[in-house]
Amino acid sequence: MKLKEALPSIFNSPLPLVEGGTPLVVAGSLLDTPRRDAVRIVSAGAGKSASSADNEKCLVFSGYSALVGLLQSKPTDYYRFLFETCEKASLSVRPLTPNTELTEVLRTFAETKFGWAVVKGARKYGVVALSDLIPLYRSGVLETDLSVGEIASPKIFALPPSTSLKDALGEMVKHRIRRVFLSGGKNKFVSDREILIYIFSPERMRLTRGDSRTLLGATLADVGAVKAVEVDGRTTIKEASRLYKSESGAWCLVCDDGLVTPWDLVMKPWKMGRLVVRETAIAMVRRSGGLHPMSAHAFFEGLKKQGYSVTFNRSFKGKSGTKHHVDVLAENPQGRKVVGRRTRRKESAWEILSLYVAAFDGEAEACYIIKGELERESRELAEIYKITPLIGKI
């Protein structure tokens, strides 16, 4: 499946940009409004991506590169470093495209060791990150039979709350980890993102202006800790994906088996050969003018290749015993159903989505809708039933 099909709204929040020559501290402030992984650097006054050695690449500013650059500076130069140009903490990356396959996205993450990649469209740039891929478990694009305990990292890195930021960041960069748990903190941790926000805060900048060495002299306790989400190790990865909150920054899970990060949820199953990337989302398709026989035929023929049995003009009972009639029904050996129904001229998106929800007895997880006059109603109903709205078509 291509990026534009799995994540059709990838350019709804374009990758922010900053002009070359902008102070690093200003560029860093863009990483938290809202939280982002990178900022694109453009040539001053040109609006074009700053060039790198490879014309196919672009320059981006990231929080990780800023922290590495800060650690490489002399303590007496910490404050001065924050006012260096953003190019001093830049990375040269090769953008993906909307036509990039999801498997290629995973390979890119594995090669770069970053959980994000830049995506270049016709007129916009965007970012695809692990935070975008985790919800694909809920829509059926990604599947695995692994549990949280099977992918957990047994060793949880911890330091005393009194550890200085300089020492903590040194260990984080050395071990390439984003989180340091606090000794005796009952699953509380401090992430690189929280440290970055703390360093770039106006209050901290004012305090360290007179003595640059104090910038990283604060402790982990000064930054403030975040509590990890506690789960049972037998929790499936799909169930764990429902707990994910992208706005929480360095979100993670802990169980008796260890630590589980967004990287673990996606990349470990893939590296273990236990991640299935579907060519079609397991969802109902709502197309312009309805689900026509030819389009329905093509869609459900694709499901046949995935082991589904397909029948037409069927009635079936849901788990609650409610009887449902659909134009097309596909079912796999595990009992997962995909339904399709032709639309009538007076039928609204509310009725179409209601049928879909009823067919799964309220357990529907995703639904494809199409932009147009019924988009607002479709989104409202999807929100009511807690269905992930996927804009696009299969």
Asked whether 117 and 247 are in contact (CB, 8 A), the reply is: no
Backbone φ and ψ for 124, nearest 5 degrees, come out as -130, 160
d(C-alpha 9, C-alpha 336), whole Å = 26
Q: Helices then strands (H, E): number in the chain?
A: 17, 21
Mean pLDDT of 240-247: 80
Structure token digits, residue 263? 């990287």
Q: What is the reported pLDDT for 65?
A: 86
Backbone φ and ψ for 164, nearest 5 degrees, come out as -70, 155
Instruction: Please give the CATH superfamily to which domain 3-128 belongs.
Output: CBS-domain (3.10.580.10)
Q: Give yes or no for residue 318 having a pLDDT over 60.
A: no
CATH 3.30.450 fits 284-391, yes or no: no
Asked whether 253 and 242 are in contact (CB, 8 A), the reply is: no
d(C-alpha 298, C-alpha 117), whole Å = 32
Q: What is the reported pLDDT for 11?
A: 82
Q: What percent of the chain has pLDDT over 90?
A: 30
Asked whether 213 and 75 are in contact (CB, 8 A), the reply is: yes
d(C-alpha 251, C-alpha 227), whole Å = 9
Phi-psi region of 125 (alpha: psi -120 to 50; beta: other; left: phi over 0): beta
d(C-alpha 344, C-alpha 363), whole Å = 25
pTM: 0.69
- Kindly state the helix (H) or strand (E) to which residue 214 belongs, with its residue range: none
Chain mean pLDDT for the chain? 77
Cα-trace Rg, the chain: 24
> Which has more confidence, 2 or 106?
106
Other CB atoms within 10 Å distance of the CB of residue 54: 10
- pLDDT-derived band at 152, boundaries 50, 70, 90: very high
* Portions of the chain given CATH number 3.10.580.10: 3-128, 148-276
Using the 8-state DSSP alphabet, how is residue 383 labeled? H
* Portions of the chain given CATH number 3.40.1350: 284-391
Mean pLDDT of 115-137: 89
Q: What is the reported pLDDT for 302?
A: 59
Short-list 363, 366, 260, CA closest to 318: 363
Which amino acid is located at 28 in the chain?
Answer: G
The verdict on whether omega for the bond into residue 34 sits within 30 degrees of 0, i.e. cis, is yes
Q: Give yes or no for residue 364 having a pLDDT over 60.
A: no
Q: What is the reported pLDDT for 282?
A: 37
pLDDT digits (tens, 9 = 90+) for 194-211: 898 888 888 888 888 888
Q: Which of 31-45, 183-197, 241-255, 313-327 has the highest mean pLDDT?
A: 183-197
Backbone φ and ψ for 52, nearest 5 degrees, come out as -125, -175
> Which has more confidence, 147 or 380?
147
SS3 call for 15: coil
Topology, domain 148-276: CBS-domain (3.10.580)
Give the distance between the most distant pair of CA atoms in the chain.
77
Q: What is the reported pLDDT for 390?
A: 54
Beta-carbon-side half-sphere exposure of residue 297 (alpha carbons within 13 Å)? 3
Short-list 365, 356, 383, CA closest to 136: 365
Q: Give yes or no for residue 72 having a pLDDT over 50.
A: yes
